[in-house]
Structure 1
Amino acid sequence: MTTDRVESLRDRVRELMPQVRADLEALTRIPSVSLDSFDQAQVEKSADAVADLLRAEGLEVQIVREGGRPAVIGRLAAPEGAPTITLYAHHDVQPPGDDKDWDTAPFEPTERDGRLFGRGAADDKAGVMAHLAAIRAHDGKPPVGVNVFVEGEEEIGSDSLATILDKHGDLLRADAIVLADSTNWEVGVPALTTTLRGMVRVAIQVETLDHAIHSGMYGGAVPDAITALVRILAGLHDDQGNVAVQGLSQGLAAELDYDEARLRAESGLLDTVSPIGSDSILSRLWTKPSITTIGIDAPSVDTASNTLVPSARAKVSMRLAADEDPRHAYDLLRQHIEKTTPWGAVVEVSLDDEGAGFAADAQGPIYDIARSSFQDAWDGREPVDIGVGGSIPFVAAFAEKFPDAAILVTGVEDPDSRAHGANESLHLGEFERVCLAEALLLERLGGQR
């Protein structure tokens, strides 16, 4: 690709950005939370809005439902001899949480200091609009075939994705798949995500009594369920904070400059609190297993009576090395909990959710083209290959369904995007670079005929 063509596309993307942003803000105003406890009419409205945007660019569009939330599929036929690219994003979002934790209303996009704040502004409605911006940059006629797949239930586990891929997979078959739901290394440094951790989520139910009893009358001889549960949870880590479950896979991450100061700045770790685990920080974040207690059911402090609690429950999330079998990991975790349960308490460990990890062999001409496109979009800054500690099970689903396609995991986020949290935001300058990189990618892939 000539320098003049790169600059032409750069100018075109810059010209498009006001409308791209306006469309992104309109999508962000739709509270498309896919959890059952929220209004699912808003998820339908979001799918319709995405479908309308795709139709306006000349794509043939259908909304599909296979027992779950609506997904949108749009298609542009490939020019003769050109490859086809599938572009993935999702239009559902996480719950906003407590409004008081937000500096501005979560579903009213607001700009501050070059960032656009709002639930879904980054994760992942910006991914939807990055795909549209790339198509618009080619005036709706990119030099490749384009399939756009915008899922509607990624935030609740993509339960119907396997059925969608089974029934509609022929509509999504491609030479390369761009999955825009990850992050960049930092503002100003683009990245390709080449590894993702898998995950297992379990519920742990502990019982010690058939009814609550007076803590003064029986305390000291009879164990309560909360204390038993706490001892189980404490036994999931060793004294350093490493996962104590034996037999899990683990690896070492690539050497990139990431020190404790950056970890503290990005995570909000309190000054007096030490990081946990051993080996490099990136290995702890990307390639080693981790276990987190994410919820406990027990009487609250404000409503607790002076009794021995008969039962308690916790939800635990375990992240896994990319090559770990989630069912094998679940068995190891269950066995560990059963072995470490104190005082003969009755324990039940039930599988709540699971997802496979992903590791790409990110070599070959399509990956080279992607890296060149990122480098041009970021004014000569070379992209880095990163891992992500979070789990995106749909990536493994696509890799399994389309084993011959190059899988490019990209994204619009940066370390301060706070996806899933209060004050989620999108860096607008980085977003423009993402849009340009994808437009350049489509151009270069079209030259592979």
Structure 2
Amino acid sequence: MAAADAQVIRERVEADWPRIVQLLGRKVALRSISAEGIDGEHMRRSADFVAEELRKVGVQARVVQSANPDGTPGAFEVVGSREVDPQAPTVLLYAHHDVQPVPDAGQWDTDPFTATERADRLYGRGSADDGGGIAIHSGALQALGDDLKVNIKVFIEGEEEMGSPSFIPFIEAHRDEFESDVIIVADSGNWAPDVPSLTTSLRGNLDLDVTVKVLEHPVHSGQFGGPILDANTLAAMLIASMYDRNGDLAVPGVKADRPIGGLQHDLDEAQVRADAGIVDSYRLAGSGSLAERLWTKPSASIIGFDAHPVDGSFNVIADTARFRISLRTAPTQEPGEAMKALGDFLISHAPFGAQVSVEPLDTGQGWAMDAASTAVKDAQEAMEEAFGVAPVNKGEGGSIPFIPELKRIFPGAQVLVTGPEDPQTNAHSPNESISLSGLRKNIVTEALLLDKLAFSAR
């Protein structure tokens, strides 16, 4: 082939399809839960499996164990390369082989670690996040075969679901294995199984612990209740003060963005309500498009609250309360700036003069796509050829902090965020699944994209 032909690629993917589905099934069965120990033998088996699958499609892959920041043994990472021409552009393919835990298998309709095909979907933990990303890379390289015109580097991470603590030190220690012209991160998803998307933005994130103190010790609620509000109530007032009457976060200095690359289609409220399982009586908070509220405006969630359990409670006024805020920041805001703004706001809005202290925790930078880059245009063309419909811009409310870190380390690289998921995937949740027809088209897309990048990503 001179330039890749979409029909030829489709035929090659179809011929390879049994191998791809088998790859996913075997990956699901490996139970590569990084939360059970990133340096465990189960994670080594997972990395060895991925490396072997990559070798089948021409990648010289090997497993390397990283080191944690404190020097202890870290995750098992898969790195590899395939060089076709020293003068050709180099593309780094990223995915991760670790998966989320399954706290309650009883909430699943199938065995979470036995890949089960129903209609057009394959169910199982990690079938999409991110076994689907591994399958896309493997399928695209197999489809191109000897027609591959770009040099390939591969990094399949083993601790993404644990926050990637050793990711940046590992990259900095192996720069030569990551240096590239284009980085394809296959860990996101599409607008729908049959409508492709590039991920245009990711929100940043930060965590902050807040302590509210009103008394030196608990006191009897009958003797002192009234003029003294308990710390839990004061904490609730403090939390409520972060919002305006519409439910928008209204903390000065915590910024909002508009959808990156423009908003072509807003999200469907009925679908969002169904996907999230929202009770009928609840009115969605905030103002503006749903896309803005979910992708580029900040959001705060109270993800932990220390209080006496209801069982065994008795009539005392709580002296202190502690809670943790998880703040998703606008894609372009520096998280440290948002952290300071939020901390200052909480201290200055202490209800009734209660003592409020804050403890900053982790931060992660957001990311916004360069909509004018040649790689983006190539990706959009490849998606339309593969899916038969134009792609729809799609942000993500979640965070992948290593992407801006990659841009910091390799400022000349163009970053594309793609992936195997769709609104029905349920990543991190019961009944995780991947659309098989969507996976086929994603593989065709990446093969066509790699071909296009041979001519434009120089």
TM-score for the superposition, normalised by structure 1: 0.93
Check conservation: 1:33, 1:39, Cα contact below 8 A: no
The offset of 1:178, in angstroms, is 0.4
Q: 1:29 to 1:212 in 2, by over 3 A?
A: farther
Q: Does 1:255 align with 2:289?
A: no
Q: Counterpart in 2 of 1:106?
A: 112
Q: Does 1:125 align with 2:137?
A: no
The offset of 1:140, in angstroms, is 6.8
| SS of residue matched to 2:174 | helix
Counterpart selection for 1:442 from 439, 447, 450: 450
Counterpart selection for 1:319 from 328, 332, 356: 328
Q: 1:4 to 1:223 in 2, by over 3 A?
A: closer
Check conservation: 1:28, 1:108, Cα contact below 8 A: yes
Q: Does 1:220 align with 2:229?
A: no
Letter in 2 for 1:403: P
Q: Does 1:371 align with 2:419?
A: no
The offset of 1:277, in angstroms, is 0.7
Q: Counterpart in 1 of 2:167?
A: 161
The offset of 1:329, in angstroms, is 0.3
The offset of 1:80, in angstroms, is 4.2
Structure 1, unaligned runs of 5 or more: none
Counterpart selection for 1:96 from 102, 109, 114: 102
| SS of residue matched to 2:5 | helix
2:102 & 2:383 partners in 1: Cα distance? 32
| SS of residue matched to 1:179 | strand
Q: Counterpart in 2 of 1:46?
A: 46
1:445 & 1:224 partners in 2: Cα distance? 62
The offset of 1:54, in angstroms, is 2.0
Check conservation: 1:64, 1:73, Cα contact below 8 A: no
Check conservation: 1:294, 1:317, Cα contact below 8 A: yes
Q: Counterpart in 1 of 2:432?
A: 424
| SS of residue matched to 2:198 | strand
2:436 & 2:274 partners in 1: Cα distance? 21
Q: Does 1:205 align with 2:211?
A: yes
1:108 & 1:39 partners in 2: Cα distance? 23
Q: Does 1:82 align with 2:97?
A: no
2:133 & 2:263 partners in 1: Cα distance? 28
1:47 & 1:347 partners in 2: Cα distance? 46
Q: 1:176 to 1:396 in 2, by over 3 A?
A: same
The offset of 1:338, in angstroms, is 0.8
1:77 & 1:126 partners in 2: Cα distance? 24
Q: Counterpart in 2 of 1:56?
A: 56
| SS of residue matched to 1:182 | coil
| SS of residue matched to 1:187 | coil
Letter in 2 for 1:383: P
Which stretch has the larger CA shift, 128-137 or 110-119?
110-119
Q: Does 1:177 align with 2:183?
A: yes
Q: Counterpart in 2 of 1:345?
A: 354
2:36 & 2:228 partners in 1: Cα distance? 40
Counterpart selection for 1:308 from 299, 303, 317: 317
Which stretch has the larger CA shift, 37-46 or 243-252?
37-46
Deviations, residues 126-160 of structure 1 (Å, cap 9, x unaligned):
10121111111133772221111011121222221
| SS of residue matched to 2:420 | strand
| SS of residue matched to 2:21 | helix
| SS of residue matched to 1:247 | coil
2:335 & 2:378 partners in 1: Cα distance? 33
Q: Counterpart in 2 of 1:402?
A: 410
Q: Does 1:274 align with 2:283?
A: yes
Q: 1:44 to 1:344 in 2, by over 3 A?
A: farther
The offset of 1:95, in angstroms, is 2.1
Q: Does 1:235 align with 2:241?
A: yes
Q: Does 1:413 align with 2:421?
A: yes
1:294 & 1:15 partners in 2: Cα distance? 47
Q: Does 1:22 align with 2:22?
A: yes
2:281 & 2:177 partners in 1: Cα distance? 53
Q: 1:37 to 1:53 in 2, by over 3 A?
A: closer
The offset of 1:3, in angstroms, is 9.0
TM-score for the superposition, normalised by structure 2: 0.92
Q: Counterpart in 1 of 2:71?
A: none
